[in-house]
Chain A
Amino acid sequence: MDWHQLWEIASAPDNVPIVAMLFLIPFYLWYALKQGIENDKLIAILESDANLAKTKYRKTQEWDPKWDREVHTWPYLMRMEFLVAIIVTVLLMVWSLTLNAPLEEPANPNVTMNPAKAPWYFLGLQEMLVYFDPWIAGVVMPTLVIVGLMVIPYIDANPLGNGYYTYKQRRFSIWTFMFGFVGLWVLMIVIGTFIRGPGWMWFWPGRTWDAERVDYAVNRNLDQVFGIDGSWTSAIFHTTKDQGAIWARVIFGIFPLIAFFIVAALLVHWICMRTEFSRKIYQRMSLVQLVTMYTFLIFMFSLPAKILLRLVFTIHYVWVTPWFSI
């Protein structure tokens, strides 16, 4: 085990945010969920006692008959935010005073650094390049992520959970967040930082990053697995065999893709229909909202599906076209 190197990576000034993230994200997840669950208990009490609910519903805390029903933003929220702002400022200043900017030597166009890594916040995207072609991983997926985040308010048909923590009332949103952010974004950054070494190869923590390492791995496209050679397309379209093969691949690739969309759509639908609560939300949604949400969720599932295909089944691309590949 190469603890020395692990320490070097973890202590590099570049990686401070990632190391911090490793602790902060679990902590706040735990903290938010804890408060959510406590609230859920309170909500249960209030629901069982209608009178009480009419007078007292300060949902973020235990309640007391002597307390106000509501408190003002100013000063009760603002003063807290002010305090936090001061503390964060202090933290940022201490950080910038103690750690210098990780500047490197003047760039040499003749030498490519190995591993060549993006800034930490882009490492998730860079990791995605392993699984998709640059057009998909670099353009389509990030666009979907941004657009997907933008549409959330418009497709969220659940009116509950505003201004207080709750798990029960927003179970679906919370798990989507866990899956999309923690699973597909943070985890990918962690992989990109700690696991990917020279040659973007997979090094388990503690294994020395050896620039000389050589691995044997063959990734094949799905059509190759199925032996699509294009003889029948060239016969149909009267083209050469090479051109035929291109068309054969394009046509062939559509089927597994369609299959994935169907399976994923069914999966999403099954998830949405599991509880009484979510069925109620489902009823509230318009068709456009529903289709939008399903589409984005299906695309979200495509990443783990592809990771699985690549890492476990060594499938390179599923659908190969002359313009892009998936």
Chain B
Amino acid sequence: MPDRSPELGPDDPIKGRSFAFPLLIASLLLMLTVAWSFYVEFYGLQPWREYQSRFAKAYSTYLAKAVKDEKKNEDAVYASADYKALLAKVDAAEKTAKTQDEQIAKQIALLDDQRAALGDAFKDARGKIGSLVYQYEIVPDADRSTKEARKKDLLAGRASVWKVDWPLGDGRIQKDKPFTGDELNDVFTGIIAQRAALVAQRGDVDKPAKEARDELNQYASEHLPGLSSTSLELLQHSMRDFDERIIQINVNPPGASLNNLGGAGLVDRCQSCHVGTETRYVPSQVTLTKADLGMAKSKDAPYTSHPDGLLLQTHPLEKFGCSPCHGGNGRAVNSVERGHGRYEHWLYPLYYPENYNAGCQQCHSADMVTEHAPVLNQGKQLYRQKGCIGCHRFQGFDNQDEQLVNARQQILSLAKSKSDDLLEIPRLQKLGDTAPSNAAAEAFYAQATNLTVDISRMDATTESLEQRSHDLLQEIKKVGPDLKEARQKLRKEWIPYWIGHTTEFRPTTKMPQFRMSQDEIQAISAFIWQDSLPGPALEKQAPANSAHGKELLEERGCLACHAIGEGANAVGGTFAANLSRIGEKENYDYLVRWVHNPRQRTRPYCPYEKKDLGPEDYAKHNLPYVFDLDHSRCPNDGHELLVQQPTIMPSLRLSDADSRDIASFLITQKHADATYAAADYMDDPQLAAKGKDLVRHYGCAGCHEISGMEDEGRIGTELTNEGSKPIERLDFALWTEDAKRGEQPDGKPYLRDGKQMPWFDPKGFFEHKLENPAIYDQGKYHANPMDALRMPKPNLQSQDEVQALVTMLLGSTDPTLPPEYMYKPADRRKYIQAGWWIVTKYNCIGCHQIDVGQKSVLQTLPMYQGDLKGNLPPVLTTEGARVNPEWLRGFLANPALSTTDSNRNGVRQYLQVRMPTFSLSNDEIRKLTLFFEAMSAQPDPFIPPKVEPLSDAERAMARGLFTSPAAPCLKCHMTGNEAHDKNASAPNFLLAHERLQPAWTARWITDPAKIIPGTAMPSGLFRKDGDIWVFAGPTPGAMQQYHGDQADLLVRYMFTLTPQEQAALLGRTPSASNSAAGKQSGGK
């Protein structure tokens, strides 16, 4: 403060007031704020520091315990007799080798010394002689005298002497030992050779000790899996000096350049808090759970290691990081909320557990079945099965209809150019005839000839396009039934009831519930009724044995797809309709035809003329009214027809009588009290006209085949990239504000972990849309009722199904990663990728187990439990290795393996479950065959291995084995003899040659349980004797002298078996009949 004039009063408000106190306070505040800012900088914005220190503490405790446990284990193992014996062996072997080893080591050391001693002299001599050689060589041959002189110099150089202090071993040195240049060279190369020989010798000497040591290590690693106590101690050490710092991954594909060109442009720092996923601290051999760290109950302990180690092996962290799969903002570390991307402005928030699989979809969008992603797979299956695909295009999903339209357009444009060319040819010829010169005429004629060749080429292209159309027409499957046949199939009054009450009539139906007024329903019913085909009339069928029908329904495998019984009583699969009330809607005659062959059509459809052909069209061309896959060309225009019903349901090749029995049973399936109001309005043509517009408006043709609407497109929005649609484009309608506040249309709060959360995000939108699309129309005014949202309420059975679809949609984003991340394999995995689309399309997994760990529907049904397992269809986990793909192709096309006797299985005729005829297209058969081959890692194309023919002696021995009482093969395997086959439970050996692969067969007969656990084929028929398999039971006398592989012998015998031979064997097999009871065999 400046000094104050004494005369001034002390109360001058400006001069007299001291600022010391306010300045002190302000300065303190400033310092406090600065300190605060340092705290925020280093701790507030770096919460990961605290997470890391907590982790280090907890993990150290865990490791300390682990080290103790592991030491105990190790001590136990080291103390075990086996280990000690092995250790003793190692010691003994090492001792034996020791003296010799030491001697060799000494020799080697001496050689090394000598080589070192030679070093300088050798280099000097080599340099000198090299230069003399050069001097000699550059003199031309003509200059003899100089050449001679130089040669003399060279010889002198080679003979000149270098002195070396030469070691003699044991520290003795011969001073100045003389060497000529030539000697130096020889000695040096000699030393190198000797040394190599000694090293090899030493290896031989040490070999037994090394092998014993390996054995010891092998034993130790087998008995002490996981990390050794030493490694654990190292980890413990690293925790003690734990350095808190950001742990980050630069997410890049291998080979991305320094400035991230071609990289993902992502930095993931997730591991800064999720320390347990960092393999430097928690190696992959250690699985760390919350409980391990004593934090089982903590809600804020992000320390577990990644739970799916196998997944990480195929998705290495350094390439994939975290956020590409999990979402979230990988580079934010200043708060949990930011890092997880759960704030308004981050586009890709962390997926919630129920949607984890969404992370797979971005790269695996081309897969129908993705390993490790059950929820995503379920979502994709639902997308197809519930008919979402009928309205919403999705890249990769069934688009055969689009391909067909393409092919058709190409065919038409080819036809157009062909007709143009045909007109051009005579014109060119005429020009040639009148040309002024010969050369000009020749040119015109040549052009005309070229055109004819062109035309023939176009014909070839057209033909292949027609073939493709044939395939495509076979592949197109509609989700719903063909409405062209409504009149023949359905009870008239039932139709309007059904449209209004889908889920009431059949709670598990795929048909979604539309929001329609009664008028609309009536109009649509009228249209469907009047639009359907009038005939030709169905064959009249007599009622038959419904009890037998029920039996057949349960035995033949119908329940793999269909269920029967209502509510909790339903038994069977969910892939196709529940048949409980089918009797209320269907016409018996139609049902018989359907059961007999669901693919049968009343009239074939011609996509070119856009009409359903009748007998009259065929009669015009004097053709019989016959249309099937072999007679699929249009009589009018020669193009491919749609000759089958576009249904997934295959033909079970039932006899007429069996079909009637099943239909008779099904027609009894109804509610006794069901009544339907009369519906005379359905014959009103005006109403039908109105209905037509409505049917088009609601996009019915997306799932149903409807006359006149075969080429209707999909009416919904494409969903391929729906997951990255900006939130502004998702129409929350009048719920926008409520969604932001977490209030739901039903009045309940949107909860997560008991907290009300906003649902104004894609997840919330999809969830509410799938639960009830109508909410986004609620309160909206529509001048024209047709402006209302059309999306019907999908009939999803549970919240799981909703979440499965949400998962799929959330993951369906624009690719944010570079192309090399997308799963588009070039090797055989691409066949697996393509095959799953077919396998799931036809529900092969309803009957078969195809992948390890997966269960077929039939396997879960009550009628196939326990002993009855033997009645199940075969397990196909090794199908590709088992069968010859050529054979498989034929089998898939015709599972009866016969054109005459089709009411049976081709291979396992003893099974009641029937392998149906799917009428797969050639392309589908190709893909399926390649799929099975690839699943079993078979090379493609297939080259059948050679089977050595048997000598007479071998055949005699094999025959003996085949019929020996210890291995009565023909007791269970079929022979084709009807009396014998009644009790058979395994396929006929005569098929083996064409059907099986010998290597697999050998593996199978030696240990079938390893390939298919629980198979009825007995294991332990053979035992390993050295490198070969020998029969385990008492062998026939002749076998004693055989020194070859007996399993191989048997396989070769099977592959050369003839029907005569088999018939002859049959007589020798110990009583086939007493194997009947209790012997339920299956598997192979």
Q: B-contacting residues of A (Cβ < 8 Å)?
A: 4-5, 61, 64, 66-68, 71, 75-76, 79-80, 82-83, 86-87, 89-90, 93-94, 97, 103-106, 108, 110-111, 113-114, 208, 210-212
B331 lies within 8 A of chain A by Cβ: no
B33 in contact with A93 (CB, 8 Å) = yes
Q: How far is the CA of A97 from the CA of B841 in the complex (A)?
A: 58
Q: How far is the CA of A105 from the CA of B348 in the complex (A)?
A: 10
Q: How far is the CA of A105 from the CA of B737 in the complex (A)?
A: 20
19 A–B contacts from the bound complex (CB under 8 Å): A64-B12, A67-B8, A67-B9, A68-B15, A75-B2, A76-B14, A83-B22, A83-B23, A87-B26, A93-B36, A94-B33, A94-B36, A97-B33, A105-B345, A105-B347, A110-B726, A111-B728, A111-B729, A208-B737
| 7 cross-chain pairs, A with B, having the tightest CB-CB distances, nearest first | A66-B9, A105-B345, A86-B26, A93-B33, A104-B345, A111-B726, A90-B29
Distance (Å) between the CB of A74 and the closest chain B CB? 9
B8 in contact with A90 (CB, 8 Å) = no
Distance (Å) between the CB of A87 and the closest chain B CB? 6
Q: How far is the CA of A258 from the CA of B34 in the complex (A)?
A: 60
Q: How far is the CA of A113 from the CA of B734 in the complex (A)?
A: 18
A66 in contact with B8 (CB, 8 Å) = yes
**How many residue-residue contacts, CB under 8 A, span A and B?**
77
B7 CB contact (under 8 Å) in A66, A106, A113: A66
B464 lies within 8 A of chain A by Cβ: no
Distance (Å) between the CB of B776 and the closest chain A CB? 12
Task: Look across to chain A and name the residue whose beta carbon is closest to the beta carbon of B29.
Answer: A90
Given A67-B9, A105-B345, A105-B346, also A83-B26 (CB < 8 A): yes
Within 8 A of A (CB), among B718-761: 726, 728-729, 733-734, 736-737, 741
B736 CB contact (under 8 Å) in A89, A93, A104, A212: A212
Q: How far is the CA of A322 from the CA of B733 in the complex (A)?
A: 41
What 1/0 flags go to B3-14 for Cβ under 8 Å of A?
A: 000011101111
Distance (Å) between the CB of B488 and the closest chain A CB? 49
Q: A71-B15, A83-B26, A89-B30 are in contact. List 13 more A-B contacts (CB 8 A).
A: A4-B741, A75-B1, A80-B19, A86-B23, A87-B29, A90-B30, A93-B33, A97-B37, A104-B345, A105-B347, A111-B729, A208-B737, A210-B737
Q: How far is the CA of A114 from the CA of B727 in the complex (A)?
A: 12
A90 CB contact (under 8 Å) in B1, B22, B26: B26
A212 in contact with B734 (CB, 8 Å) = yes
A-side interface mostly? loop
B737 in contact with A97 (CB, 8 Å) = no
B27 lies within 8 A of chain A by Cβ: yes
CB contacts (< 8 Å) of B33 on chain A: these are 89-90, 93-94, 97
Distance (Å) between the CB of B813 and the closest chain A CB? 13
Q: A-contacting residues of B (Cβ < 8 Å)?
A: 1-2, 7-9, 11-15, 19, 22-23, 26-27, 29-30, 33-34, 36-37, 40, 344-347, 726, 728-729, 733-734, 736-737, 741
Q: How far is the CA of A212 from the CA of B37 in the complex (A)?
A: 43
B12 in contact with A67 (CB, 8 Å) = yes
A68 in contact with B8 (CB, 8 Å) = yes
Q: How far is the CA of A7 from the CA of B30 in the complex (A)?
A: 31
B36 in contact with A97 (CB, 8 Å) = yes
CB contacts (< 8 Å) of B741 on chain A: these are 4
Given A106-B347, A212-B734, also A86-B30 (CB < 8 A): yes
Task: Look across to chain B and name the residue whose beta carbon is closest to the beta carbon of A105.
Answer: B345
CB contacts (< 8 Å) of A61 on chain B: these are 13-14
Q: How far is the CA of A104 from the CA of B37 in the complex (A)?
A: 24
B737 in contact with A64 (CB, 8 Å) = no
Task: Look across to chain A and name the residue whose beta carbon is closest to the beta carbon of B2.
Answer: A75
Distance (Å) between the CB of A51 and the closest chain B CB? 20
CB contacts (< 8 Å) of A104 on chain B: these are 344-345
Distance (Å) between the CB of A80 and the closest chain B CB? 7
Distance (Å) between the CB of A129 and the closest chain B CB? 23
Task: Look across to chain B and name the residue whose beta carbon is closest to the beta carbon of A60.
Answer: B14
B34 CB contact (under 8 Å) in A79, A93, A105, A210: A93
CB contacts (< 8 Å) of A208 on chain B: these are 737
**Which of A79, A103, A108 is the most central at the interface, judged by chain B CB atoms within 10 Å of its CB?**
A79
CB contacts (< 8 Å) of A114 on chain B: these are 728
B15 in contact with A64 (CB, 8 Å) = no
CB contacts (< 8 Å) of A4 on chain B: these are 741
A79 CB contact (under 8 Å) in B19, B27, B347, B729: B19
A103 in contact with B12 (CB, 8 Å) = no
Distance (Å) between the CB of B755 and the closest chain A CB? 17
